[in-house]
Every structure is written in C-alpha cells, then in structure tokens.
Structure 1
C-alpha cells in the first residue's frame, strides 16, 4: 500500500510543478521497484555470506524494506505543504525513526538466533550480525532521500 501511495504522491508532486508525464510516473515506479528488489536481494546475499541462520524470509525482508515508504510519503506531503524546509525537517525525523526501528527489530531477529546457537555475546560472528544490522538500518535513510529528493523543487 505504501509503495503504491508513494508512486501516486510522486505523480501529484510532479503534477503540481508541471513536470508530470506518464513516462516520469513509470520511471519513478520502476526505479523504486528496482531499488526495493536490489535491497532485498543484497540483504539476502549478506545474510548468506555472513552465514546467519535466521527465520527471516524474503517476504519478511520485503516488509521491513517497505516501511521506508511511509516516511517517504510523510516527507513528500510535508514538502508539498511546507516547501523544502518542511520536507527536510520531516524527512530527517522519519529517517531517524526508521533507523532506530530497523536496529531494534532486526537486532531481535538476528541476535536472538545467536543466543539460541550459544554464540558468545562478544564473538566475531555476533559482531558481524550487529554490523549487518547497522548496515541495513543505515541504508534505509539513504534510500528514502534518494527516492524523494528529485520530486520537489
């Protein structure tokens, strides 16, 4: 739902600036989908390379990656109503929120498996899991900015 709402809101943002065309809407949709698929596949590859055994499925990772679209929507609405300063303020808050949310939820998923396996708390594999969690969480604000900055002038 948030993905489709983001695409429709991007069309509205482009339309208010007289930059709308069906091609631009298709470009926004296809690039957002491509980045989403690339993100999920890179997380799956990272989990495989770090040899993390977890119960996270690709659908779970897709759901976690989809949370960023809610913040992007709020940022775009703020940008349409309040201009660039409102966009940056609200998007910054949403980026911070998604960063903290992803760390807290993925840490529970990835590090709980380490406790079940009996891995030491300060073990090298556990550090890799924490670095992976931090990298996934840090990528979310980057994607949020990358997919929205060009929609507002």
Structure 2
C-alpha cells in the first residue's frame, strides 16, 4: 500500500538532475589570445608601421623636399601685401638684402626680400582663371583651350628655369640660389600678367598695353635689384673688379634673366586681349 501525501516509494533512490549536454559547436572566437602573444603582436605591428612611415617619408623627401617647401610657404597677409608692393612699385624701395639668422635665411613672413612660393602659385592659378574669363568674354572658351593655356604657361616656366640654371653653370657662378628660388622669382611675373589682363578686360587694348608696360618695367627692375645680390655676391666677396671679364658675364646673365620676364609676360597674354 502506498504512502499518502506524496511520499517516495520505499527502496527507490531519489531522482538526480542530469548536467546539460555540451553544445555541438563551441564558439572559440571569444577566446582571448594569451597576453604575451597579443602584446608581442601589437609591438611588432607598431614597429612595422613605424618603419613603413619612415620609408615613405624618406622617399617623399627625396623626390619633394617637403621640409624646404614649408619655408617658402611661411607667409602671412602682411608679407603678401608688402611683397606685392615691391613687385609693382620697386622704385620706392632701397633695401634689397636678404636677412639671415645663424647662416640661414629667415622665413618670408619676417623678411619681405626673401623668396616665397605662395604668391607665384596663387598668381599662376589666378592667371589661368582670368585667362578663362577673357576667353569667355570673346566666346572662345573651351576646357581644352584653357588646359592648353595652363600647360603652355607651365612649360615656358620650366624652360625658363632650366635656361637660367644652364646660364649659371656656363658662367660658373657659385651662388646660394636654388632651383626653388628660381621658380619663385620666375613666378612673380604672373602678378603683372594678371594686372595687364584685368586692365584689358576693363579698358580694352589701351589699358592692357599701359598697365602691362608698367608691370614689365617693374618686374625688370625687381629682378635686377634682387638677382644682382645673388649672382654678383661671389664677385663682391672676392673683390673682383667691376669691369672684369667674369664679372661682366655675371652682369649680362642678370640682365638676360630680368629681360626674359617682360617677353614672357607679353607672349602669354597678348592673344587673350582683343
């Protein structure tokens, strides 16, 4: 006879719960790697990234001197205004000597006589835009023609710089002028070209020829007063006679470089004004 009240049967062991069965597929993605292995991998990855960055920076610096380019773009609004004044009115200034600090030229924002690339680059871009505007007013605008104008101006700039470098080599001038300096000085003529084109758009050919002639004269004087301190500096330091043959060649080279600027200014703008 069974006991009442839900009692257990005599002679039978109490029931036990079975443990849950393990999953058929265990998720091992959450298992963390051992601490020494993960730290070693992180260190190796950081070292590899640093080596890659150093390699890229070294190759870029070899092709493009980024550190030196920063110097040529170290300008401010005050410098830009004063430099434009020297480019357009060089007759009003007497001091053209570049300032040095610890045998290195100071940044352009601290010395208005220092060469920069900001004004040439911005002037080149503005010249292309004004050229497109001039072509548009004459119903001659097309992307191909504007691209040809930009590539032509850039090609002539490269030819000019290469010609100056060849002249410096043939005359055997030991100067601190660099290729970037020559690009900067050659690029200043775009300021006068912009003034001439804008005058042509507003006042026709008469205004173009008047203001372009002034800008050509200004850039000629600017280049003479700037480059003579660079090209003739060695002769002055050596005490060479002014009428010496070598010094005469240096002076002719300075005059030739300055004389090239008005020719290029007219050649690159006369067909844009009608």
State the alpha-carbon separation in 2 of the partners of residues 40 and 24 from structure 1. 24
Q: CA deviation at 1:119?
A: 2.1
Q: CA deviation at 1:108?
A: 1.1
State the alpha-carbon separation in 1 of the partners of residues 150 and 238 from structure 2. 41
> Helix, strand or coil for the counterpart of 1:72?
helix
Question: Structure 1 residue 146 and structure 2 residue 271: aligned?
Answer: no
Aligned residues: 153
Taking the TM superposition and a 5 Å limit, the aligned residue runs for 1:1-153 are 1-153=122-274
Runs of 4+ in 1 over 4 A off after TM superposition: none
Q: CA deviation at 1:120?
A: 2.2
Q: CA deviation at 1:117?
A: 2.8
State the alpha-carbon separation in 2 of the partners of residues 69 and 123 from structure 1. 35
State the alpha-carbon separation in 2 of the partners of residues 31 and 143 from structure 1. 11
State the alpha-carbon separation in 1 of the partners of residues 142 and 242 from structure 2. 54
State the alpha-carbon separation in 2 of the partners of residues 125 and 4 from structure 1. 39
Q: Which runs of 5+ in 1 are unaligned?
A: none
Give the TM-score normalised by structure 2: 0.55
CA RMSD of aligned residues (A): 0.7
State the alpha-carbon separation in 1 of the partners of residues 238 and 165 from structure 2. 20
Point out the structure with max Rg over C-alpha: 2
Which structure: greater helix fraction? Answer: 1
Q: CA deviation at 1:29?
A: 0.2
Q: Deviations over 1:84-143 (max 9, x none)?
A: 000000000000000111111111111112112332222111000000000001110000
The structure with higher relative contact order (CA 8 Å, sep 6+) is 1
